[in-house]
Amino acid sequence: MDWADFGVDLHLELDASDGRRAGLERAVREAIRDGRLPPSTRLPATRTLAAELGLSRGTVSAAYDQLVAEGWLVARVGAGTEVSPHRRAAPPPAASPPGPTPLRYDLRAGSPDVAAFPVTAWLRATRRALTVATADAYGYGDPRGRPELRTALAGYLGRARGVLAAPERIVITTGYVQALVLLTTVLREAGTPTLAMEDPGLAFHREVVGRHGGTVLPLPVDDRGARTDLLGVGVLADVAAAVVTPAHQFPVGVTLHPTRRHALTDWARAGNGLIVEDDYDGEFRYDRQPVGAVQGTAPEQVAYVGTAAKTLGPALRLAWLVLPARLVEPVVEAKRHLDLHSETIGQLALADLITSHGYDRQIRTVRRRYRQRRDLLMERLAPAGRRFTLGGISAGLHATVHLPAEGPTEAEILAAAAARGLALGGLGGHWHRPEGQPPGLVVGYGRPPSHAYPAALDILARVLRTVDGRR
């Protein structure tokens, strides 16, 4: 038999100890019970299945007839044999007792409004890109990524973010986390695994560094951003790299002050230190002029990381590293051994979207949408209380609610929100050592669907009234 032309694949384990027909019937029943053959799944023709299993066609026909008679299968003239639409897999074990109130609304930071993904524009870009793509685009590729995307990004980043990026200095990654893994790996292999990371900052990123052999030291953050003036002295004397979010610090939301930017680049130049610039939401500015990337002022000291996760969506798994010359080969080698290369089709589509200016149009669209959501957040929370303040509202997709030291604790507020079906993030989980740190909330305005966003804000406002002593 020519297996290359075999029709519908069906894997069955036959136990013929009590006869081949009985064994086939039992195998099909078990596959349906287990859910491996869902309702309405089409089965191979009797002749085909007989050839695959090494049975006579009469044996398979008799087994099918029996299963039809029992209601497991249905046979239709001209349509073949299918699993009965009324047969379902066995139910799962009994559910555990009811838990807490289900969360209906989500105001946690970190996710964009995925409903804003430009489906039509992406389909057009993909169609155009694949129409002109050469055959090599479908094979194994350069660990740095497709040249079409790296070239498009070099132009876009220079224009929009002030990044000095040559295509050969760009490496495409599957996200910020992979970029951080690559840089941590290169630093570890160079014998300089100690990184300073902002405090507060995203705890998961600290875990990523630790899991890949790096050592993390806290870099304090105040109302002027990261304390870059502390790099190179005291406990931070031996730091090889500093991971920062200069444009919009996560989670506090401040922008790195010009004097701190200078201190950061001076430290890197003086000791050949590496600045890892996480520009996760650099495109989103509302009340002030955009702040250019630090990389533009010190390209040989900065590894710049950008991503399409917030502008388009995390599902694309597309981000980019712009590297100093000395790090290109080590990072490319690390990437080659991590996953060989990132997927290609999305890269080609994004390259087309950028060069056709569809990416710029998408950014303008979502920027307006997030500006409206930010404004509604401020409007709804303004009457909620006088004892908390909002921070980080001039940019990005989240705001920080600074709570008073006295009154309900951060944990109590999170619990009160959860009891009303609202998921919130606390500031406490972002500190390297949360004990004794000021309480606060990190409120995202990208995640909730548009129809649910006002109701989520109303719940948040009611919860915050408890901070101000009103019910």
Q: What is the CATH number of the domain that holds 372?
A: 3.90.1150.10
Q: What is the mean pLDDT of the chain?
A: 91
Give the whole-angstrom CA distance, residue 133 versus residue 151.
15
Residue 3, pLDDT above cutoff 50: no
Nearest-Å Rg of the Cα atoms of the chain is 28
Residues 37 and 151 grouped into a single domain: no
In this structure, are 276 and 236 located in the same domain?
Answer: yes
**According to the model, what pLDDT value does residue 257 have?**
96
Q: Which helix (H) or strand (E) holds 83?
A: strand 80-83
What is the reported pLDDT for 2? 47
Question: Any idea how long the chain is?
Answer: 471
pLDDT at 6: 47
Q: Do the Cβ atoms of 349 and 129 come closer than 8 Å?
A: yes
Contact 275, 298 (CB under 8 A): yes
DSSP 418-436: HHTTEE-EESGGGSSS-TT
**DSSP structure class, residue 288:** S
Longest dimension (CA), the chain: 85
Q: How many domains does the structure of the chain reveal?
A: 3
Any domain includes 398: yes
4, pLDDT greater than 50: no
**Region of poorest pLDDT, from 36-40, 88-92, 150-154, 271-275:** 88-92
470 part of a folded domain: no
Give the mean model confidence (pLDDT) for residues 109-115.
93
Asked which of 6-20, 275-289, 316-330 is least confident by mean pLDDT, the reply is: 6-20
The one-letter amino acid code at 272 reads N
**Count of other CB atoms within 10 angstroms of residue 57:** 14
Do 64 and 109 have their domain in common?
no
Domain CATH code at residue 8: 1.10.10.10
Q: Tell me which of 176-190, 309-323, 397-411 is least confident.
A: 397-411
Percent of the chain with pLDDT over 70: 94
Dump pLDDT digits (tens) for 220-264. Answer: 999 999 999 999 999 999 999 999 999 999 999 999 999 999 999
What angle, 0 to 180 degrees and rounded to 10, lies between the N-to-C axes of helices 410-419 and 453-465?
130
Average pLDDT for 126-135: 97
pTM above 0.95, yes or no: no
CATH number of the domain bearing residue 249: 3.40.640.10
- Phi, psi dihedrals of residue 93, rounded to the nearest 5°: -55, 155
Determine the pLDDT at residue 78. Answer: 76
Could you tell me the two tokens for 334?
A: 């690390």
Tell me, yes or no, whether 98 lies in a domain.
no
Beta-bridge partners for 188: none
- What pLDDT band is residue 10 in, cutting at 50, 70 and 90? confident
- How many CA atoms lie within 13 Å of 51's alpha carbon, on the beta-carbon side? 12
Q: What pLDDT does 388 receive?
A: 86
Tell me: pLDDT of 87 over 50.
Answer: yes
Strands (E) across 151-239 are located at: 170-173, 194-199, 215-222, 225-226
Mean pLDDT of 318-347: 97
| Structural domain boundaries, residue 59 | 3-83
Q: Are residues 152 and 242 in the same domain?
A: yes
Least trusted range by pLDDT, from 15-19, 85-89, 216-220, 376-380? 85-89
Q: Are residues 321 and 399 in the same domain?
A: no
Check whether 94 has a pLDDT greater than 70: no
Kindly tell me if the per-residue pLDDT of 404 is higher than 50: yes
Domain membership flag for residue 471: no
Overall average pLDDT of the 210-215 stretch: 97
Query: Mean pLDDT, to the nearest integer, of 310-324?
Result: 97
Is pLDDT above 80 for 150? Answer: yes
In a domain, 400, yes or no: yes
Do residue 243 and residue 385 come from a single domain?
A: no
**Are 213 and 200 in the same domain?**
yes
In the predicted structure, residue 69 carries a pLDDT above the cut 80: yes
- What's the CA gap between 467 and 319, in Å, rounded? 40
Whether residue 223 sits in one domain with residue 154: yes
3-state class (DSSP) for residue 358:
helix
- Are residues 353 and 375 located together in one domain of the fold? no
- Reading the block at residue 200, the tokens are 């507060």
The token pair at 423 is: 């998921």
Per the domain annotation, does 93 fall within a domain? no
pLDDT for residue 428: 94
Asked if residue 277 and residue 150 are part of one domain, the reply reads: yes
Which among 108, 46, 56, 35 is positioned nearest to 80, based on CA atoms? Answer: 46
Residues 257 and 366 in one domain: no
| C-alpha to C-alpha distance for 86 and 358, rounded to whole angstroms | 47
Q: Indicate whether 149 and 295 sit together in one domain.
A: yes
Alpha carbons 191 and 379: distance in angstroms, whole number? 51
CA separation for the pair 396, 282 (Å, rounded): 7
Q: Is 99 part of a structural domain of the chain? A: no
Residue 140 in any domain: the answer is yes
pLDDT of residue 102: 76
